[in-house]
Amino acid sequence: MRLPPQSGEWIDRSQPLNFRFEGRAYTGFEGDTVASALWASGVSMLGHSFKYHRPRGILSAANHDVNALMQAGGTPNVRADATPLEAGMALTAVNTFGTLERDAGRFLGGFARFLPVGFYYKAFHSKRLFPLWERMFRAMTGLGRVGFATPRLRTPKRYGFCDVLVVGGGPSGLNAALAAAEQGADVVLVDEHARLGGSTHGASDLVDQVTAHPRIRVFTDTFAAGYYADHWVPLVERDRITKMRARAVVVAAGAYEQPAVFRNNDLPGIMFATAAQRLIRRYAVRPAQRVVVLAANADAYRALEAFIDAGIEVAAVIDLRDDVPADQQSVLAALRIPLHTGHCIVEALPANDGKRVAAVRVAAVGAPAPATNITCDGVFMSVGWAPAAPLLYQAGTKMRYDDGVHQFVPDTLPDGVFACGRVNGIHTPAARLLDGERAGSAAAAHCGFGTMKAISVPAEMESPTHPWPIVSHPKGKNFIDFDEDLQLADLENAIQEGFDNIELMKRYSTVGMGPSQGKHSNMNALRVLARATGSTPGEVGTTTARPFFHPVPMSHLAGRGFTPERRTPMHALHTAAGAVWMPAGVWQRPEYYAIAGQSRSKCIEGEAMAVRSGVGLIDVGTLGKLEIRGPQAAEFLERVYISKYAGLKVGMTRYAVMCDESGVVIDDGVVARLADDHFYFTTTTSGAALIYRELSRWNTLWKLDCGIVNLTGAMAAMNLAGPKARAVLAGLTDVDLSFPYLAVREGTVAGVPARLMRVGFVGEWGVEIHVPAEHGAAVWDALMAAGQAHGIRPFGVEAQRLLRLEKGHLIIGQDTDGLTTPGEAALDWAVKMDKPFFVGQRSLQAIAGKPRRQQLVGFMLPAGHAGDAPKECHLVIDNGDIAGRVTSIAWSPSLSRHIGLAYVQSGMAAVGNTLTIRLSDGSLVTAEVVKTPFYDPDNLRQKETT
Amino acid sequence: MTCPVNGPRAISEFAYGGEIRPMPDPTTCSDDAWADYVFNRNGSPGVKREWWCHTPSNTWFVAERDTARDVIVRTYLYAGDS
Amino acid sequence: MSAIAFENVSRTPRAGVKGPGAAAWIAALDLPVPRAPNSWLPLPGGLIARLGLTEFLVEGSEAAKLAAPLSPGVYPVLRQDTALVLHGARLNELLLETCSVDFRALNLSTRPVVLTSMAGVGVTVIPGEGGGMPCCRIWCDSTYGEWFVETLTGVAGELEQPGHPCNQGVTA
């Protein structure tokens, strides 16, 4: 029920919010969580447990209450204890068959003895029945429904920077932030809650000082999702992620309160003492009427006053410890609350409807009988803590088990990482403040701000954590892991079966593998394993903690992805001409130009025929273009390419093939010599950036007297080709177009400075025209205009691939792969082994003596071939074995035959040989090995110079 | 990583170029020694001298990296040994 | 009033040069040479930026001087950039969403030049201040230019939306 206004409460009573849960209407306030609003309305059964469908309520109110997961319309995974209430919410419980009230699955508890730990490894192994079991499990398990109509959301992602990042806004974190800021550091403080203060719940001088400090930026409602190398911590806010890079990180993340383990410790009404305090202080909700406090530390006694003030009747304090310090005992005496030291709860008893605790059975520790019953509708457990250390683990901290406080604490922290407060094993309030100041000062000093203060933090006088808050019971149902419904006996059985190592026990039993990731279960499980194997918690060790600390929405991870796109300067012109675009690496290239009423293949064929019989123009601006100058420019090219360039005449070009150190072909292009010490050369589209980078590396090593400039984006390039190309170009350029085949000339085209190279890639008289990018569109337009009278057509990538195939020209990466050496690709003629050195030379020498595995050959299908033709990557079959593969194939309109290139075993490469190629459906097609070029075998058309 | 010319930058601005390994003299070494150079790499953890490139500025440099501790020891421009 | 103003200055004349002899050659042309790597100097009607150790970008009318005859160790760099000037109150937020360099930690009085990656594209950035608001000049390869401008404009547009977290009063 709702209490009168509490000082510093987080709810705004002037803003009531209506919502529905399981079809019933309720009211809460702005500032409530779903769980606090329901609890205030008297609803204490918030969900059913995973395996046994037992009623569950609030356990932690700290974002670990997985049993209170709900579905809000199309949104699954709503954590009731951490999700702010919104007007109009319509929530249902998950993991029920039917409704929460009439959950058909609640009978599963009765089958518990057939569902021991690891039961699914032992049952369901009948292959015949497994599909049935699988369907059953899919229907039974799973927590929520995915809404397939959910819109695709993405939220902004951004970077952030600071000197000191403090994770956790409780007392130690606040003091750490202040200390660091006072020394001059730029501080970011994050806390997952709506307000700072941690267990002080918000209002305090300390919080005021922090929020007012000019050098502290506060992120509330934000959690640190993980720690990544070099102090990179993603901060997950409600509506975005900030990728924070800090120079030092202070982890003040606190500790998770731990449950006591006794029979029926999962009944609604049984919760952590901190959960009760949160309900009271933040949401003005009375968690129960009459409670038993199960204590084992000073925190329990500090909280009693808050319980009394909230009108709760504390029926008794049951303290696991034999000796309770006098100052704690005196608190009870003053309040006249009965105290039972050295006692424990052996069992909680449910109310008649089974949905809430109604009483507890209390007995001496180790002596379950005689026991007394105490009626109550709530139990507040305050028996211990486990450090919230995932960030520390991820940063590489070495932890050790401290017998003084019975928890793991940092032993060796990495450079620049600091810990303070409860996560550091410091629990006394005054000491936490000092520890925070110490850590904040040290963090700031680490960044170069001031010097580390010498602060000695007093050791804890008593342990805030009980080493064994666990009570066995013959009837079980004493839960260690509430997410996974694991009882004490489940772990004992797993250990007995041989899974007696922390990693094995975790995976076999699934302890700690639920949505709260072991925050309330790992420590107790570890204690059980230690006791069962006769070792200590420190010897048993912990499993690691992986990001993320809490679930992160996919919209945050998606963010805005940057997938850059490169476009040539003529892009808009291509679109206007009907280009159908295709990605080529990061570039966009016209695949072909669409003509209304014509199919794709008709358009491509038309473009190719235009080049063969008239004139075509293609944008080849995506090619890599590099320029090298200097006295040793030629020497450099000699070393990186397999052919010779030292003797290349000024004004001439030469085909260029590049190999890597293993002799594998990695790139090809054309080298043009513009002067003795000046070359302009091209690479493949996809190779450009990598080749430029690698050539830069070679020259960093060799230090030859030359310089390389990457002009790929700075130059536009187009290829004008066809028997009428010369006529089209003649009127636009001052260059004498009778210059020889494979020569290069500098001049102007359409008034723009240009480099012209006569090339033979597509097998017609053709010129590659390179101009500065800013003039690309103008030159393209001028050529297209001049070409109108000759029926010029723009042609795209597909037409070009067909044209080059008719000439038998290979494409790196299509007709070569990661192992192809020059000889295999019929490029022996380009290899000049008599050079002093080139990259790949020594490897080619090593394999020269070895038999060649395969050979690239041209092939044709028979004239009039009917039926399907092979595709790229279809296999050449010989005697039922793989003997090669097709790398390129197309229907040649010029030859009216299917032509292609294929790798075949060396013995099958002879011209005239018959090949058998297998199609996808297993049928076989016959082909004949032929010489290339297929079209114009003597290359007369591209070479002509009249 | 700290580029010697551009300063500390996110690792996504860098490309790895392999460990700096001396090339055997191709004119005198055996095929086996050459194959070892081309194909084999040093996998054992420890401090390695490596080629790294700051890609936005195309700056090649040397990084000494402790691959056991995942720590970059220092970075500097290549001065011409190896 | 848009939160971030974009000015496309791609057509401003510019020229580049690099190499071991570049610094001396530029000095001989009577142009000031920025001494520190990755720094810039103002010129009448433009600027000269030193990119890394041995490359220079000259922008403005003075760029015409780089057409002078070359010397050994001097290699011309044809510049065909997409060049932008951005300024506005939300510029820092735009930079935080697209680039992992901490621009606010730079000391503008040293006139720094930053070669980095923004939205996945290699860029040269000169941060500055104008009229009390942050501003910066950005150069990138013009084949990335269209996509780059579209993307930055899209991000800038999102930053203007009232629902964007940077407009919620959340401290940055």
Could B60 and A662 be called an inter-chain contact, meaning their C-beta atoms sit closer than 8 Å? no
Mean pLDDT of chain A: 94
The whole-number pLDDT of residue A501 equals 94
Contact yes or no for A491/A485 (Cβ under 8 A): no
Question: How do residues A39-72 score in pLDDT, each as one tens digit?
Answer: 999 999 999 998 888 999 999 999 999 999 999 9
Q: Which among B34, B37, B58 is the nearest to A693, CB-wise?
A: B58
Question: How do residues A616-628 score in pLDDT, each as one tens digit?
Answer: 999 999 999 999 9
Instruction: Identify whether A138 is part of a domain.
Output: yes
The CATH H-level (homologous superfamily) assignment of domain C5-10+80-167 is Probable tRNA modification gtpase trme; domain 1 (3.30.1360.120)
Is the pLDDT at A905 greater than 70, yes or no? yes
Alpha-carbon distances, residue C117 vs A243, A271, A305, B56 (angstroms):
16, 51, 58, 6
Q: Is B6 on the interface with C (CB under 8 A)?
A: yes
The whole-number pLDDT of residue A109 equals 67
Could A713 and C98 be called an inter-chain contact, meaning their C-beta atoms sit closer than 8 Å? no
Range with the poorest average pLDDT among A98-112, A629-643, B16-30, C152-166:
A98-112
Nearest-CA distance A166 → chain B (Å)? 21
Instruction: Identify whether A454 is part of a domain.
Output: no
Instruction: Identify whether A837 is part of a domain.
Output: no
Nearest-CA distance A589 → chain C (Å)? 12
For residue A931, give the 3-state DSSP assignment.
coil
Question: How do residues A79-115 score in pLDDT, each as one tens digit?
Answer: 999 999 999 999 999 877 667 777 767 666 666 666 7
Nearest-CA distance A661 → chain B (Å)? 6
Give contacts of A 678-707 with B, CB under 8 A. 692-693, 696-697, 700-701, 703
User: Who wins on pLDDT, A202 or A731?
Assistant: A731
- Write out chain B residues lying below 8 Å of C115, CB-based: 6, 54, 56-57
Looking at residues C96-123, what average pLDDT do you find?
Answer: 97
Interface test with A, best of C10, C170, C171 (most A CBs within 10 A): C170
CATH number at residue A575: 3.30.1360.120
Contact yes or no for A573/A777 (Cβ under 8 A): yes
Q: Is B48 on the interface with C (CB under 8 A)?
A: no
Residue A414 per-residue DSSP state: P
CB contact set of B31 (below 8 Å; sequence gap of 6+): A846
- Write out chain C residues lying below 8 Å of B54, CB-based: 115
Please tell me whether residues A689 and A773 are part of one structural domain: no
C-alpha span between A897 and A900 (Å, rounded): 10
3-state percent helix, strand, coil for chain C, nearest multiple of 5:
30, 35, 35
Looking at residues A231-236, what average pLDDT do you find?
Answer: 98
C-alpha span between A198 and A599 (Å, rounded): 68
Contact yes or no for C65/C29 (Cβ under 8 A): yes
Is the pLDDT at A546 greater than 50, yes or no? yes
Q: Where are the domains of chain C?
A: 5-10+80-167, 14-77
Please tell me whether residues A131 and A267 are part of one structural domain: no
Please tell me whether residues A202 and A134 are part of one structural domain: no
Could A662 and B17 be called an inter-chain contact, meaning their C-beta atoms sit closer than 8 Å? no
Q: Which residue has the tokens 């109009």?
A: A88
Last-in-domain residue among A414, A446, A478: A446
Q: Which among C53, C116, C117 is the nearest to B5, CB-wise?
A: C53
Please tell me whether residues A306 and A241 are part of one structural domain: no
Could C100 and B10 be called an inter-chain contact, meaning their C-beta atoms sit closer than 8 Å? yes
- Please return the burial class of A475, using the count of CB atoms within 10 Å of its CB with bins 0-12, 13-18 and 19+: exposed
Alpha-carbon distances, residue A692 vs A459, A688, A707, C117 (angstroms):
61, 6, 11, 18
- Nearest CA among A928, A914, A913, A908 for reference residue A860: A928
Instruction: Identify whether A519 is part of a domain.
Output: yes
ipTM topping 0.90: yes
3-state secondary structure A68-123: HEEEECCEEEEECCCCECCCCCEEEECCCCCCCCCCHHHHHHHHHHHCCCCHHHHC
Give contacts of B 15-34 with C, CB under 8 A. none
Nearest-CA distance A617 → chain C (Å)? 20
Could B12 and C122 be called an inter-chain contact, meaning their C-beta atoms sit closer than 8 Å? no
- Write out chain A residues lying below 8 Å of C121, CB-based: 562, 564
- Domains (range + CATH), chain B: 2-76 (3.30.2270.10)
Q: Is B38 on the interface with C (CB under 8 A)?
A: no
Band (pLDDT 50/70/90 cuts) for residue A893 is: very high
Interface test with A, best of B28, B50, B58, B78 (most A CBs within 10 A): B58
Band (pLDDT 50/70/90 cuts) for residue C1 is: very low
Could B17 and A696 be called an inter-chain contact, meaning their C-beta atoms sit closer than 8 Å? no
**Beta-bridge partner residues of B60:** B53
Could C100 and B59 be called an inter-chain contact, meaning their C-beta atoms sit closer than 8 Å? no
Touching subunits for chain A (3+ Cβ pairs under 8 A): B, C
Last-in-domain residue among A383, A409, A431: A383
Q: Is A571 on the interface with C (CB under 8 A)?
A: yes
Last-in-domain residue among A147, A166, A183: A147
Question: How do residues A122-170 score in pLDDT, each as one tens digit?
Answer: 777 778 888 888 888 777 777 788 888 888 888 999 999 999 999 999 9
Interface test with C, best of B12, B57, B77, B78 (most C CBs within 10 A): B57
State chain C's maximal CA–CA distance in angstroms. Answer: 58
Strand stretches in A454-510, DSSP E: 479-481, 486-487
- Write out chain A residues lying below 8 Å of B39, CB-based: 662
Question: How do residues A487-518 score in pLDDT, each as one tens digit?
Answer: 999 999 999 999 999 999 999 999 999 999 99
Nearest-CA distance C36 → chain A (Å)? 21
CATH number at residue A646: 3.30.70.1400
Helix residue ranges, H only, A480-542:
488-496, 502-509, 522-532, 537-540
Contact yes or no for A47/A95 (Cβ under 8 A): yes
User: Structure tokens of A116?
Assistant: 């021991």
Contact yes or no for A682/A769 (Cβ under 8 A): no
For chain A, the domain total comes to 7
C-alpha span between A554 and A61 (Å, rounded): 24
Question: How do residues A858-884 score in pLDDT, each as one tens digit?
Answer: 999 999 898 899 999 999 999 999 999
Task: Report the first-to-last Cα separation within chain A, whole angstroms.
Answer: 101
- Write out chain C residues lying below 8 Å of A241, CB-based: none
Instruction: Identify whether A840 is part of a domain.
Output: no
Q: Which residue has the tokens 């010779």?
A: A644
Could C117 and B5 be called an inter-chain contact, meaning their C-beta atoms sit closer than 8 Å? no
Please report which helix (H) or strand (E) contains residue B65, including its range: strand B59-66
CATH number at residue A127: 3.10.20.440
Is the pLDDT at A848 greater than 60, yes or no? yes
Share of chain A above pLDDT 90, in %: 87
Residues shown for chain C: 172
- Nearest CA among A677, A676, A669 for reference residue A649: A676
Band (pLDDT 50/70/90 cuts) for residue A441 is: very high
Domain that holds residue A599: 570-623+715-812
> How far, rounded to the nearest angstrom, does the alpha carbon of residue A361 sit from its chain's CA centroid?
49
Give contacts of B 7-36 with A, CB under 8 A. 10-11, 15, 17, 26, 29, 31, 34-35
Could C122 and B5 be called an inter-chain contact, meaning their C-beta atoms sit closer than 8 Å? no
Question: How do residues A260-297 score in pLDDT, each as one tens digit?
Answer: 999 999 999 999 999 999 999 999 999 999 999 999 99
Question: How do residues C29-83 score in pLDDT, each as one tens digit?
Answer: 999 999 999 999 999 999 999 999 999 999 999 999 999 999 999 999 999 999 9
CATH number at residue A173: 3.50.50.60
- Write out chain C residues lying below 8 Å of B56, CB-based: 115-117, 122-123
Contact yes or no for A711/C78 (Cβ under 8 A): yes
The whole-number pLDDT of residue A171 equals 96
Please tell me whether residues A745 and A602 are part of one structural domain: yes
User: Structure tokens of A336?
Assistant: 């006249």
Please tell me whether residues A4 and A45 are part of one structural domain: yes
Please tell me whether residues A734 and A788 are part of one structural domain: yes
C-alpha span between A943 and A763 (Å, rounded): 9
Range with the poorest average pLDDT among A3-7, A476-480, C168-172:
C168-172
Could B53 and A693 be called an inter-chain contact, meaning their C-beta atoms sit closer than 8 Å? yes
C-alpha span between A665 and A822 (Å, rounded): 6
Please tell me whether residues A14 and A128 are part of one structural domain: yes
The whole-number pLDDT of residue C171 equals 47
Alpha-carbon distances, residue B33 vs A462, A720, A843 (angstroms):
67, 49, 11
- Write out chain B residues lying below 8 Å of C117, CB-based: 12-13, 55-56
Looking at residues A667-682, what average pLDDT do you find?
Answer: 98
Please tell me whether residues A878 and A935 are part of one structural domain: yes
User: Who wins on pLDDT, A589 or A121?
Assistant: A589
Please tell me whether residues A642 and A554 are part of one structural domain: no
- Write out chain B residues lying below 8 Å of A693, CB-based: 15, 53, 55, 58
Q: Which among C37, C53, C115 is the nearest to B56, CB-wise?
A: C115
Helix residue ranges, H only, A510-626:
522-532, 537-540, 554-558, 571-576, 600-613
